[in-house]
Structure 1
Amino acid sequence: MLWPAATSLVAGMAMVVYGAVVMPAPAPGPAVAASLPPRSPAAAAAEVPTLNASPPVRIVIERLGIDARILRLGLNKGGTVAVPPPEQARQAGWYDGSAAPGQQGPAVVLGHVDSARLPGNRAVFYRLGQARPGDRVEITRMDKITARFTVDSVTQVPKDRFPTETVYGPTRTAQLRLITCGGTYTESGGYDSNIIVFAHYTGARGT
């Protein structure tokens, strides 16, 4: 894993506005800020066979009304993890230094919470903070397989205390991390927190 890049992930997540200063509408945060999950996987997840690597192309979280394409993202020149460009704020991005969805390890998918370019400033992960344990996340991959995940927890953490190892560290099972901005927004500093959804792999269709 690229730890320096992972540590810098949160630096590029705030809304980007060109030509004007726009105060975004407050996005819904987690109903309850759950504790970070333990690193050991659930026994049920350990019994599910993992998949080979294949890039993700679409994410669906039906209860939240999320249905979006997924871009493949790498690193910026400065070594930070890239985020979707402002003109593609409706789309999520998969960090290709992480596992593919359904592959052993944590797959990391991130997206903007808002954008001045979109109606109501609502970007792809505007409602991510409303996720709750038990929600289903489906990610379709380039090989036409859809990996299914179940949400374990959702938490909001200050950006200066981003849990890098918990998000990016190796796992014995296939896991998923969904990340966006949250907390308080200021024009000078952007958002002060990140919302992180932790989910585990529960199987696939199309295999």
Structure 2
Amino acid sequence: MPELPASAAGRRVAGAATGALLIGLLFTGCGGDDGGDTASSGTPTPSTTEMTGATATASSVHPLSQSPPTKIAIPKIGVSAPVGSIGLLPDGRVEEPPLSNPNLAGWYDEGVTPGEVGPAVILGHVDANGKPAVFYRLKDLKPGDKIAVARKDGTTATFAVQTAQHVDKDAFPHKKVFGEALDHASLRLVTCGGAFDTKIGHYKDNLIVYAKLISS
């Protein structure tokens, strides 16, 4: 284990960056028992896709102190969901929210909390048991769309979407998602995407949405 930074936020970012190196199988179980997501299955997607357009500037927004998230709301795609905590499994992979609760998102608790300086990460399934799950419509987000994360201390961190990225699960950008050095508060939302591989019973890609704090 490398020596960690002195600050609490820095320690969590460093831990996330090193601990996430084996996340290549992230959300391998994210799929229905009927063969997957009808909205994305069979639809060719590039290995990376970046959304461009006007995004809100947040240079004057003050980051928040540490406080775990309790709820996420994304009005554009009809998301209003509780957020629980997830960590690392013994083999180094990141936990998944339980398929038995498809509307539950999971905050990666080895990283910063949403609203703190650094990359906070929330994961959610695209579908579960053949039915849409919490991040089913994540692919519909556009630059500027708002994401509100309620926190345990009663504050709400509001983010604006900046970019999105489709990546092969074998090429997941661990360091960028979990441990990128930032001077502002950022949020990453992660789910499955791309085609559903019926041979292995998993999606081939991950969809990552990147957002920046605009109000707190």
- TM-score w.r.t. structure 1 length? 0.85
Matched, 1:136 2:146: yes
Structure 1: 5+ residue stretches without partners: none
Offset at 1:43? Answer: 9.4
Q: 1:187 is matched with which residue?
A: 198
Q: 1:48 is matched with which residue?
A: 61
Count matched residues.
195
Offset at 1:21? Answer: 4.3
Change (3 A) 1:97 1:73: same
One of 23, 42, 48 as aligned partner of 1:9: 23
Structure 2 residue identity aligned to 1:125: F
Q: 1:156 is matched with which residue?
A: 166
Q: 1:74 is matched with which residue?
A: 87
Q: Does the 8 A contact of 1:108 with 1:178 survive in 2? A: yes
Matched, 1:104 2:114: no
Q: Does the 8 A contact of 1:4 with 1:79 survive in 2? A: no
3-state DSSP of counterpart to 2:58: helix
Q: Does the 8 A contact of 2:51 with 2:143 survive in 1? A: no
Change (3 A) 1:101 1:121: same
Inter-partner Cα distance in structure 2 for 1:197 and 1:124: 14
3-state DSSP of counterpart to 2:128: coil
Q: 1:173 is matched with which residue?
A: 184
Inter-partner Cα distance in structure 1 for 2:29 and 2:128: 6
Q: 1:121 is matched with which residue?
A: 131
Q: Does the 8 A contact of 1:30 with 1:154 survive in 2? A: no
Structure 2: 5+ residue stretches without partners: 1-13
The CA RMSD measured in Å over matched residues stands at 2.6
Q: Which runs of 4+ in 1 moved over 6 A?
A: 29-32
Change (3 A) 1:16 1:176: closer
